[in-house]
Amino acid sequence: MIIDLRSDTVTKPTAGMKEAMFSAPVGDDVFGEDPTVNALEEKAAKLFGMEAGLYCPSGTMTNQIAIRLHTRIQTEVICHKYSHVYLYEGGGIMANSLASVKLLEGDLGKITAEQVKASINPDDVHAPETTLVSLENTMNKGGGSIYTLDEVKPIRKVCDDNGLKLHLDGARLFNALAESGESPAAWGAQFDTISICLSKGLGCPVGSLLLGSKSDIKRARKVRKSWGGGMRQAGFLAAAGIYALDNHVERLTEDHARARDLGKMLLKLSFVSEVFPVATNIVIARLDGISPEEFLKNLAGKEIKAVKFGPDLVRFVTHLDFEDDQLEEFEKRVSQL
């Protein structure tokens, strides 16, 4: 049995999800005629109290479209230095929007309103114009750390006071909400745009959603088209998203519980010096006396997969296909290292 903990993107559709996909009514989404895509976009927008949604192939696309909407040439995006939009999207901010980036430090990948306020550029010919703040929840490089509404609302106020837009990379937002108990609508009220990934914790094979105002989503649809993101009978894929929103949200806390147990197991290893606080489904272990490459090689010998996450860090991610029997087997195998 291979235990794959590289990411929550490695899941396979459940039987119920497959049935929903195969039975979905479809049409041509580029013409706006796929009823299942339309239903998914409307369902997600309503859930977050936002006006409209746009279904896209990936979270990178939804993030990058949002950045394009809120920036222009010679403007600047404020984000944490470990943000996915900066580190893991192929230089997209520069390539797609010709915008600059101001990178901030922050505990477990999070930034504060005070930092944002201090980072806004003056109205000066020498500086790019600050137009956008981008947050990430949960924060991947922060070990799945969570922003709360009490942390976000002051950032929203700074943005309002200074004419800035606020975007949320909510790739794992449902993981955060499962822990905080906060409502999607309360989060929708704080942001101009939100990106939601369906193919991570929710277990879909493909797809992300961009949520925002009707005018922003109308513009976003044109950007998606120019980037080759227009899909035809995409309802077969969108049906998985509808199924996931109906069936896979509440169970996310099971992934979190297993992640906490996994973190405790890793701390028992003599060469693991630290495990980041486990808030959701991401576990990051700091190694001492062994390189990530060597550790991963040893894990591979036990048919366990994880990923290097820094010079001395390894990441594990629990997910829909990682259940209690695999957790018990994981403990047996790592205890033999």
Q: What are the tens digits of pLDDT across the range 106-145?
A: 999 999 999 999 999 999 999 999 999 999 999 999 999 9
Q: Is the dihedral of CA 285, 287, 292, 298 positive or negative?
A: negative
Left, alpha or beta for 219 (phi > 0: left; psi -120 to 50: alpha)?
alpha
154: pLDDT confidence band, cut at 50, 70 and 90? very high
- Which pLDDT belongs to residue 233? 97
Which whole number is the average pLDDT over 167-183? 97
| Sequence-ordered alpha helix ranges (H) in the chain | 15-22, 35-47, 59-70, 84-87, 92-97, 113-119, 149-162, 173-180, 184-188, 214-226, 235-247, 252-267, 292-301, 324-334
- Which pLDDT belongs to residue 337? 86
Q: Which amino acid is at 319?
A: H
3-state secondary structure of 299: helix
Q: What is the pLDDT of residues 55-71, one digit of tens each?
A: 999 999 999 999 999 99
Asked if residue 180 lies in contact with residue 314, where contact means CB atoms within 8 angstroms, the answer is no
Element spanning 93, H or E: helix 92-97
- Which pLDDT belongs to residue 235? 98
Q: Which amino acid is at 45?
A: A
Q: How many CB atoms lie within 10 A of CB 157?
A: 14
3-state secondary structure of 135: strand
Asked if residue 109 lies in contact with residue 142, where contact means CB atoms within 8 angstroms, the answer is yes
What phi and psi, each to the nearest 5 degrees, are found at residue 56?
Answer: -130, 165
Percent of the chain clearing pLDDT 70 (strictly above): 100
Q: Is the dihedral of CA 57, 65, 151, 83 positive or negative?
A: positive
The three-point CA angle 225-229-233 to 5° equals 105
Asked if residue 42 lies in contact with residue 72, where contact means CB atoms within 8 angstroms, the answer is no
- The burial of 234, by beta-carbon neighbours within 10 Å (0-12 exposed, 13-18 middle, 19 or more buried), is given as buried
Q: How far apart are CA 38 and CA 237, in angstroms?
A: 12
Q: How far apart are CA 138 and CA 252, in angstroms?
A: 13
Q: Are strands 193-197 and 165-170 parallel, antiparallel or unpaired?
A: parallel
Which whole number is the average pLDDT over 82-101? 97
Q: What is the pLDDT of residues 120-130, one digit of tens each?
A: 999 999 999 99
**DSSP secondary structure letter of residue 230:** -
Q: For residue 288, give both structure tokens.
A: 């001492």
Percent of the chain clearing pLDDT 90 (strictly above): 99
Asked if residue 244 lies in contact with residue 199, where contact means CB atoms within 8 angstroms, the answer is no
Residue whose entry in the numeric block shows the structure tokens 């600059």: 100
Q: What is the pLDDT of residues 230-247, one digit of tens each?
A: 999 999 999 999 999 999
Q: How far apart are CA 304 and CA 45, in angstroms?
A: 38
pTM of the model: 0.96
- Decide if pLDDT at 313 tops 90: yes
Q: What is the pLDDT of residues 25-48, one digit of tens each?
A: 999 999 999 999 999 999 999 999
